[in-house]
């Protein structure tokens, strides 16, 4: 019998409604799994819980949350025997959506019962691990602003994006490996998975099992062009846009003309403008 540990943020809607423990008790197969539930007490606590899961020989650590919570918990699990499970409860759920993990709580628990695992790539930005995306420019600015909002959710995110759009100053990025430089960029992202979240696919060709990452460079244009790009990311393929350039590699050595950054939507400030992003092939086992 495998041991499963569920990690829940107590301020999430799921925890406030107190429905998840009852659903786990009802739908998790008792002939396959024993389980316990822990709650995070502060930002970054999921990292400590993941470290303890490795020491406690937990088989599956299930994160109840969004991409940021997954980012917190996944670093200690790299190259370990602990498999990551996901019950999506974030604002965008980009990682869960990429792996087609159900957004419905009952179905997500039943998905764990199937136990279909996949070894996937992760990546590092200097010393920070991430699973889906890291970025600089407008997406990093939005990540920082969104982090301070009292009210979360999709429409809060949309309002924020539109509010900050007019006054954003473009950034510059230089690839130190090739010497190539890009100016007037709206944002620069490095993708391991295909989407930011909410089915907005900024890197539809990304495959987190191919040992490569995608550098996505988006030029700043008019609001109309920005709207077209968003439409294309949801309904089409942004790689066809004249405003988008995509480069694949296992490693990127960049100089960034901005300080704001994010990994899987978790904002931080760069301590240096010279960064290295490296793919770590097959470093995390995940239930998909």
Per-residue pLDDT, 99:
96
Cα distance between residue 181 and residue 158, in whole Å:
30
At 162 the pLDDT is 85
CATH architecture, domain defined by 128-282: Sandwich (2.60)
Q: Are 286 and 63 in contact (CB under 8 A)?
A: no
How far is residue 126's CA from residue 186's CA, in Å, rounded to a whole number? 22
Q: Is 12's pLDDT higher than 90?
A: no
Residue ranges matching CATH 3.40.50.10330 in the chain: 2-115
CATH H-level superfamily of 2-115: Probable inorganic polyphosphate/atp-NAD kinase; domain 1 (3.40.50.10330)
Question: Helix, strand, coil: what percent of the chain each, to 5?
Answer: 30, 35, 35
> Do the beta carbons of residue 68 and residue 266 sit within 8 Å?
yes
Taking only the tens place, the pLDDT of each residue in 37-49 is: 999 999 899 999 9
Q: What digits encode the pLDDT tens for the residues 32-82?
A: 999 999 999 998 999 999 999 999 999 999 999 999 999 999 999 999 999
User: pLDDT value at position 156?
Assistant: 84
Give me 183's structure tokens. 């100016």
The predicted model gives 228-243 an average pLDDT of 92
Least confident residue range of 81-90, 96-105, 182-191, 223-232: 223-232
Q: How far apart are CA 57 and CA 63, in angstroms?
A: 16
For 98-102, 103-107, 158-162, 269-273, which range has the lowest pLDDT when averaged over its residues? 158-162
Q: Is 128 helix (H, G, I), strand (E, B) or coil?
A: strand
């Amino acid at each position: 019998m495998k041991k499963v540990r569920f990690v829940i943020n107590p301020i999430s809607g799921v925890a406030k409604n107190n429905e998840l423990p009852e659903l786990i008790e009802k739908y998790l197969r008792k002939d396959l799994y024993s389980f316990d539930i822990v709650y995070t007490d502060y930002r970054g606590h999921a990292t400590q819980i993941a470290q303890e899961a490795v020491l406690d020989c937990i088989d599956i650590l299930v994160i109840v949350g969004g991409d940021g919570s997954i980012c917190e918990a996944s670093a200690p699990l790299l190259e370990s025997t602990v498999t990551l499970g996901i019950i999506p409860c974030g604002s965008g759920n980009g990682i869960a959506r990429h792996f087609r993990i159900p957004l419905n709580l009952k179905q997500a628990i039943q998905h764990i019962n199937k136990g279909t695992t996949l070894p996937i790539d992760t990546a590092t930005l200097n010393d920070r691990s991430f699973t889906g995306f890291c970025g600089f420019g407008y997406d990093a600015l939005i990540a920082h602003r969104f982090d301070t909002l009292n009210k979360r959710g999709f429409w809060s995110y949309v309002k924020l994006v539109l509010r900050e759009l007019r006054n954003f100053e473009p950034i510059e990025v230089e690839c130190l490996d090739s010497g190539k430089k890009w100016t007037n960029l709206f944002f620069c992202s490095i993708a391991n998975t295909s989407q930011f979240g909410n089915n907005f696919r900024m890197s539809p060709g990304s495959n987190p099992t191919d040992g490569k990452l995608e550098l996505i460079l988006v030029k700043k244009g008019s609001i109309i062009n920005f709207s077209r790009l968003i439409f294309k990311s949801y309904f089409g393929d942004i790689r066809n846009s004249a405003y988008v350039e995509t480069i694949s590699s296992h490693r990127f050595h960049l100089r960034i003309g901005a300080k704001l950054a994010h990994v899987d939507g978790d904002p931080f400030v760069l301590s240096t403008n010279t960064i290295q992003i490296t793919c770590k092939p097959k470093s995390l086992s995940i239930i998909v």
